[in-house]
Amino acid sequence: MTLLYFAQVRRITTLASESIPSETPLTADELWQNVLQRHPDLALLRPAIRLARNGAFASAETVFQPGDEIALIPPVSGG
């Protein structure tokens, strides 16, 4: 799985992307556990971050497959 990081998430992780090894599907909760083990400072932003799987927003019931591209999208503001 490839994780893509944007805005505040990128600043916290200091990465634009990273690969996580997974040979089995992961639920959204399992994915978050993996991400937070790597980047515990994201815990405060977790409620506001949306996950997207292969270019489409994911729900809490989404199952992420090996090979998926997963974006962690923080809230945006603009004017």
DSSP character at residue 39: -
- pLDDT at site 79: 53
The three-class DSSP label of residue 8 is helix
The pTM score is: 0.90
If you ran DSSP here, which 8-state letter would residue 42 be given? G
Give φ, ψ of 39 to 5 degrees: -140, 75
Using one digit for the tens of pLDDT, what is the confidence trace for 29-46?
A: 999 999 999 999 999 999
Q: Enumerate domains of the chain plus CATH numbers.
A: 2-73 (3.10.20.30)
pLDDT greater than 80 at residue 77:
no
pLDDT at 21: 86
Q: Is 2 helix (H, G, I), strand (E, B) or coil?
A: strand
